[in-house]
Structure 1
Amino acid sequence: MSMNRPDVVEALPRMVVDPPAVPAACRGRLVERARWQWRPADGGDPAAYAEQFLAEHGLDLRDLARPTHRHQHRHGVCGAALYLSAAAAALLAGGPPGAPNPADLPEVAVVVYAHTEADTTHPGPPPPWWHGTWTESWSPHQHADAVTAIRRAIGHGEVYQVNLVGHASAPYTGDPLPALTRLGRLPGARYGGVLTGPGWAIGCASPETLIEVRGGTLTTRPIKGTRPATTAGRADLLASAKERAEHIMIVDLERNDLARVARTGSVRVDDLFAVRRWCDLWQAESTIHADVADGLGLADLLRAVCPGGSVTGAPKLAALDHIAALEPVGRGASMGALGWVGPDHIDLGLTIRTAAVDGNAVHVWAGGGITWDSDPAAEVAEAAAKTTPVRAALTGR
């Protein structure tokens, strides 16, 4: 990915990059064994195709209550990266996909890896990286108008909360992988890493767990509520009735999502409205656990939890309708899922704080949840605060 041309973007990267949530023992040792990508024109059910593809390559995830290593050893694979765009996630939920993807990316990708002991680094410094001026998908005034439209819909009883997301893009030259790797190393990035494909790459610095499956337990950690990372900001977040109400709505939504694929009566909230730090922001996070139901496979799990409630709203399908009507540009690689699938666990992050690169531009997204108490100017400012560290990392500051 060394030049701003699709034919050269497809060249091998000059540096080793690891996808988000890759186990520590695999870092810097991955070699691609197989790849499957999906776009809407391909048709069919991408969740079912992904499950089948993984099973064919040694990762049988058709019963998550009974993980097995048998096929993994036979095929020699250590795991796979799994990516779903926001549009693909919406389709899995039965909702509208929204505006077209502004980046030339697949909507789903699965990359199966094995280990290598060889030195996979590429000698020599990468070409200089530069990106031009950001072009925003909407002005602050248009963003504020969309917030007002959501408040009106809430007043009419159509929804309780809707997450609105804006997009920006910039032309670039040079090799984007070092910049995307810097992004993945931002403080608090639980899902920091880079996934590459022919003509595209995604860099993620997400702190939010969409779904983790480990030892028969389902875990999700929704984040909702943001303030500057100051002493006063933390106190204001903890004291905000608006932020707490917004957060609890999403916790209830996520509890219901897990209940669809969990053993009856096993869903529990173990940590409610805990304040965590990401870069220069405080964010409120809760932890929800449940026991995996017998016979639950990867495809059904994805259909239950995608798209994440914290980036859609409640009720989820009604929120997706408003998102599709109001957002002028598709969410692309953001607000979807990206992470690691192993023979004995799944760990997918929600792709907030995410950037994508295609053959023409670098793309970023940011937004926030809108409730009846939302102030349009404050929501515009919050989205700007979330995207500032992402843009700074890409620039090199």
Structure 2
Amino acid sequence: MMENGPLVVETLPYGVGSTPAMPSVYLNSLTELDRFEWYVGQPGDPAELVQRFLTDHGLGQGALHPTDTHTGPAAGAALYVSAAAGATMIGAPPGAPSPAPAVPDVVAVAFRDRPGRPRPADRQPPTDWWLGPWQPSWTPQAHAAAVTAARAAIGRGDIYQVNVVGHTSARYTGDPLPALTRLGQLSGARYGGILTGAGWAIGCASPETLIEVSGGRIVTRPIKGTRPATAPGRVELLTSTKERAEHIMIVDLERNDLARIAATGSVHVDELYRIRQWCDLWQAESTVSARAADGLTIADLLRAVCPGGSVTGAPKVSALHQIAALEPVGRGAGMGALGWVGPHHIDLGLTIRTAAADGERLHVWAGGGITWDSDPDAEVAEAAAKAGPVRAILAAGPPH
């Protein structure tokens, strides 16, 4: 990847390059117009910098304020914000350094629509894909110890709940883009797709909506609670007091996040604890919505929802301090935001079930929410269950 230069839509194989939440009408018709990248530690407020980039291209503001009809030459933009950038936006610690430092912490890529352009020649699928053994950044025992430490913080009253995330990586040879593209095609991947740059790529199979905005209506769909996708697993998830309590705690956090940017009295829980399937797992999802407050900006929106409540904890800033202390490596491309911003629509998924490639390794992150009732060994097993389908699809050879 490193020696091929920037990997953008123009240079990807035909049928590849669909950013999560990108309208299907644009598939294979976009060319890159402009790009912005930012890393934690560089100058500037990432929320303000993203807002400036998007508004300069006539994107996003029409979603928050339907009367804003300003548009530009861009059809839309891919937007990615890492968990570390989200923490920086709200003055919280960004956590340990990323194990994939080549991947930026903020990426915004504006695209121009060129319908009817000639179809690129198909590439033959690579035959030399090899993925080595996975090497976790911590042992199951260290992960369980972090869960125990999180429970102690809850017992002291420092936090009510916190998400603890682990990381693993594997060396590879060959082109990682087909594997990352297969990842985005997993069942239940509402935000399936890829984003690429010079020497890096992100593949996403997320089922979770971090934030969707259209016509001044803001929606978030937090997911919290996981069981195997079997009949007994569904019953267990529906009847689990621990899972329901954890889920409702995050729904309350999301209500609070939206209340800071919503018109007074407009925040509603539209659906609570709905069970839906992702690959071979049941997960509990709720829908929280609000009406945008007058004068709301894109920067305000990002600061309110990033990083996502379901992968941080409550209270959010206190949870981020615990995360920075507990996790040995940074979250990199995991637990951030990735999606599409059009002139009148914003749709960002949470980058769970997500992998990143740098020039040498593939990286995967997975974890779970910790409450006082959490069992350390069960939490380690849950994180492994979430990472399992991701690791399996990445290891699979090219299609025949």
TM range (shorter): over 0.9
The Cα of 1:118 is off from its aligned counterpart by 1.9
The Cα of 1:67 is off from its aligned counterpart by 5.3
**8 Å Cα contact 1:275-1:282 kept in structure 2:** yes
The aligned counterpart of 2:123 is 124
- The correspondence of residues 334-349 of structure 1 with structure 2, limited to 5 A, is 334-349=334-349
The aligned counterpart of 1:105 is 103
* Distance in 2 separating the partners of 1:167 and 1:122: 37
Question: In the alignment, residue 113 of structure 1 is paired with which amino acid?
Answer: F
Residues 286-326 of structure 1, C-alpha deviation per residue, up to 9 Å, x if partnerless?
Answer: 00010011111111100011110000001111110110001
The Cα of 1:94 is off from its aligned counterpart by 1.4
The aligned counterpart of 1:91 is 88
The aligned counterpart of 1:25 is 25
Question: In the alignment, residue 7 of structure 1 is paired with which amino acid?
Answer: E
Question: In the alignment, residue 156 of structure 1 is paired with which amino acid?
Answer: R
Shift in CA distance, 62/50, structure 1 to aligned 2, threshold 3 Å = farther
Question: In the alignment, residue 247 of structure 2 is paired with which amino acid?
Answer: H
> 1:323 and 2:323 equivalent?
yes
* Distance in 2 separating the partners of 1:271 and 1:160: 23
* Distance in 1 separating the partners of 2:21 and 2:6: 24
Question: In the alignment, residue 96 of structure 1 is paired with which amino acid?
Answer: P
The aligned counterpart of 2:53 is 53
Work out which of the residue numbers 115, 118, 121 in structure 1 matches 2:113: 115
**8 Å Cα contact 2:60-2:298 kept in structure 1:** no
Give the TM-score of the pair, scaled to structure 1: 0.95
> Is 308-317 or 123-132 further displaced after alignment?
123-132
**8 Å Cα contact 2:63-2:213 kept in structure 1:** no
**8 Å Cα contact 1:126-1:175 kept in structure 2:** no
* Distance in 2 separating the partners of 1:37 and 1:225: 34
The aligned counterpart of 2:308 is 308
The aligned counterpart of 1:37 is 37
* Distance in 2 separating the partners of 1:353 and 1:173: 22
Q: CA RMSD in A?
A: 1.4
- The correspondence of residues 152-167 of structure 1 with structure 2, limited to 5 A, is 152-167=152-167
> 1:8 and 2:4 equivalent?
yes
Give the TM-score of the pair, scaled to structure 2: 0.95
* Distance in 2 separating the partners of 1:20 and 1:105: 17
* Distance in 1 separating the partners of 2:272 and 2:57: 39
**8 Å Cα contact 2:62-2:68 kept in structure 1:** no
Give runs of ≥4 in structure 1 deviating > 4 Å: none
* Distance in 1 separating the partners of 2:154 and 2:313: 11
* Distance in 1 separating the partners of 2:155 and 2:119: 57
SS of alignment partner, residue 380 of structure 2 = helix
SS of alignment partner, residue 393 of structure 1 = helix
* Distance in 2 separating the partners of 1:212 and 1:332: 23
> Is 151-160 or 110-119 further displaced after alignment?
110-119
> Is 111-120 or 235-244 further displaced after alignment?
111-120
Shift in CA distance, 58/359, structure 1 to aligned 2, threshold 3 Å = same
The Cα of 1:63 is off from its aligned counterpart by 7.8
* Distance in 2 separating the partners of 1:167 and 1:216: 37
**8 Å Cα contact 2:62-2:69 kept in structure 1:** no
The aligned counterpart of 2:379 is 379
Unaligned ranges ≥5, structure 1: none
**8 Å Cα contact 1:151-1:371 kept in structure 2:** yes
The Cα of 1:8 is off from its aligned counterpart by 2.7
**8 Å Cα contact 1:207-1:278 kept in structure 2:** yes
- Identical aligned residues as a percent: 64
Unaligned ranges ≥5, structure 2: none
SS of alignment partner, residue 61 of structure 2 = coil
* Distance in 2 separating the partners of 1:297 and 1:121: 38
* Distance in 2 separating the partners of 1:129 and 1:365: 21
